[in-house]
Structure 1
Amino acid sequence: MSATKTATKTAKKSAKKGKAPPAQAPEPAALTAEPAEQAAEPAAETLEQAPAAPERAPRVEEPRGARTLTGRVVSSKMQKTIAVEIERLVRHPAYGKYIRRTTKLLAHDENGACREGDLVTITPCRPVSRHKSWRLLEVVEKAAER
């Protein structure tokens, strides 16, 4: 069996076991199938013949802030917790009409600053309790007085 077949079999076996393939030593010039004339060409000529790589536009990284959602407070009867209803539009797959969908999330309100009807912005945080993993970021608009 030739050396390349043995190396291929070894690589396949180690891939099945989840191991990295062994590092292969570079082949000597005598074993390669290239004629001696091509190997003797100067490197400068090869560089001139190669097409220039297309230049890419510089990548501008914009700062990514934390994910935030805006919604209405539907309940503030719990201690340090508010229930926020997030509204979004979803396109119906068959009819193409946009349907209003709501999601209700519990958020941590440390100071009890919110009342029902307030428009608030919430952001994710570490889990505070079983169902609560969002926290109040700001009160965007206070509800009208009753």
Structure 2
Amino acid sequence: MKSVKPGRGPSAMGAAGSVIAVIFGIFWTIGAASMGAPFFFPLFGVLFIIIGIVQAVYHFKNATSENRYSSFDIVEDGEEPDPLNARFGDAPQDVPAPDDGDFRFCPYCGARLGADFTYCGKCGRKLPDIP
């Protein structure tokens, strides 16, 4: 079954990067205010802090919640396991193979393909064999 890759790892890295951005924003704001810079320099730091907090909350929730979203990859079950599922997720479940009909979709880019395609016409990657 094709699905959107859970993306716990990228979301966790996004949360860590957002925390670093917030720390940078704090130092920027304090430095700009203490040097007597024009008002828009400390204001830029405050804006940086606000955006960083919103992003950190979003990414942390996406990395730790059961229902999460990531548009990074579309993969087959068991093709590329999520490295953080052991900590935050459930054990993989056996899912029956879908009825492919006359067409199927590329697991890498999501392009619609004919049932007999060996390579994706959009991204050019070799398609996995369907049992």
TM-score relative to the length of structure 2: 0.22
Q: Of the two, which has the highest radius of gyration?
A: 1
Greater share of residues in strand? 1
Q: Which has the higher contact order (CA 8 A, sep 6+)?
A: 2
TM-score relative to the length of structure 1: 0.20
